Structure formats: C-alpha cells, structure tokens
Amino acid sequence: MAGKRKAVLVSLLRYGILSASAAAMLLPFLDVAVGALRGPAELLARPLVYWPHDPAWSNFARVFRELPMLNWLFNSAVVTVSVTFLQLATSTLAGFALAKYRFLGRATLLRLVLAAQIMPFFLLVVPVFLVIRFWPLAGGNDLFGQGGSGLLNGYLALILPFSVSWYGIFLMRQFLLSIPDALLDAARIDGASELRILFTIVLPLARPALVTLGIFAFIYQWNEIIWTMTVTRASPDLQTVPVGIYLLRSAFDDPAQQGLQQAAIAVSTMPVLLLFLLLQRFYRRAAVSSGMVG
C-alpha cells in the first residue's frame, strides 16, 4: 500500500513539474496574444492592466489592412517551404552517402560537416552576398559577373544560401546508421537500384528524422532575419514577416501602435505553432533513433 501511494505521489510530482514547465513555455505566447487585444489606454495604464476589459479585436484586422502582411506571409511561405524542401533533399542524400557507402575521404567529409556546424552564418554574410551579387549570367551580369545585380532581386537570393544544412546532414547520417545494412543488401540482390532503395526503403524508415529536420528547418528559416534584411533592403517587395515587423519598429515606439505590433507578432507565430503542435510527436522518436539523446 505504501509503495502504491509513493508511486502516485511520484506521478503527481512528475506531471506537476511538466505542467508548470509547459505553462512557462506558453506564457510568452499568451502575453503576445493578450497584448494584441489591449487598447492604447490599457497599455499606458498603471498599475498594469493584464486582461483587457474591452478587447481590441480590430488590431488583427488592422494588421492586414494597414500592413502588407499578406505579401510578407507569401514571401515567408515561398522562401521557407523552398529552403525546407532543399535541406531535406540535400541532407538525406549526403547523410545516406556518409552512413551507408564506403569511399575514400568519407571520414574527412564527416569531420568537415561537424566542424562546419561551429561557424555561425553571420560570419559568412559578406562573402555569400558577394557570390550572389556577382553570379554570372544572372540579373544582367555578364560571364564574369559584372554589369548587373546577379541574383539579388529574386527569391533565389533568399533560398540558395540555406539550401544545405550541416546539422541536417549530421542528423540524417546518425539516423540512417540505425537502418540495417542487410536490409539494403537484400534489396540490391533482388535487383533494386540505389535510387529505388532510397525512395522505397530508406525514406519510409527515415520519416521521423525527416519530419524533425523539416520542423527545425521551417522554424529557423521562418524567423531568419539577418540575411533576409541584408538582401531585401534593395528589394522591399521580397521582405518576409520578421523583416517587415522589424523595419516598422519606429512606428511601434508609439504606445498607440503597440497593440498593432503585438497582433502582427501573434499572426507571424501562428504557422510555426501549428506546425509544431501537429508534428511534435516525431521529435522524441527521431532523437532516440539517431542517438541524439541519452
């Protein structure tokens, strides 16, 4: 009886800690949503009025009426979906090669992949910008990359620099190591080509890792601002949601506009929250299978 009581107390304690942690994680999102419903008077009220007496639901309508939110969302969707797809493709192919093929220099390539994860992207902003700017035969450039703007005035400038993920390659490689070599060898004996093995055997088994990598890539790219802001200064029509909200910060300094700011942030976070809630069950499965957790 005492053991049963102890087990119940341990379960209650465990679920209590998990519930408190979940509430702490959700609190910032709740604060943004509630802040979007406050009017100017409630934003300036002291003591602070947390829950508005007269919710300003019109702030969400103003986001689409007074800001180019639809254009920002469209640009974010095009760039994020394209980058996510490319990272899944390149990470799967490279991870499969590093996990299942024996070739000269494989260990060196794996070390390079691990070392590349140490270098933050902002250190490469200038050289990558120059490569995009002087891309040959694009944007009016000649064969030597002179005379035009290269790829700067299109979506490719926002997509190409993020088409390969070193972390994604490592994640897929670790996961694919768990697939038995005997299974692939049996398919080869039956006459299956390498592409057929990849698409009919490897990819279905690697679905948890693919979904996890897709979530990581989507969230990162949706919130990416440094490179996007650098490129879109000359092309405002390509601005994404984070850049658009950031560049409007001067207007948000006015207390009367803070509700609009909060509403814009709430709208911009909805796609990421929905994606995470729909696919979160794949996180743990992929992490355990790839050896990323103990």
Which CATH number do you get for residue 230? 1.10.3720.10
pTM over cut 0.75: yes
pLDDT of residue 291: 47
- 10-residue stretch averages of pLDDT, the chain, 294 residues long: 73 84 78 75 69 79 88 94 96 93 89 87 87 88 85 90 92 90 90 90 89 90 91 86 81 67 85 78 56 45
Report how many domains make up the chain: 1
Domain membership of residue 174 (yes or no) is yes
pLDDT of residue 74: 95
Parent domain of 202 = 68-241+270-290
Domain membership of residue 51 (yes or no) is no
Cis? peptide before 68, omega within 30° of 0 = no
pLDDT of residue 72: 93
pLDDT of residue 293: 45
Domain membership of residue 20 (yes or no) is no
**Residue 183 has which token pair?**
């299974």
What confidence tens digit (pLDDT) does each residue in 264-294 have?
888 888 888 888 777 766 665 555 554 444 4
Domain membership of residue 28 (yes or no) is no
Domain membership of residue 249 (yes or no) is no
Alpha helices by DSSP H, listed for the chain, are: 2-35, 40-44, 58-66, 69-100, 106-116, 125-133, 156-159, 166-176, 181-189, 194-197, 203-205, 207-223, 226-232, 241-247, 249-252, 258-279, 281-290
Closest CA to 244 of 47, 34, 73: 73
pLDDT of residue 84: 95
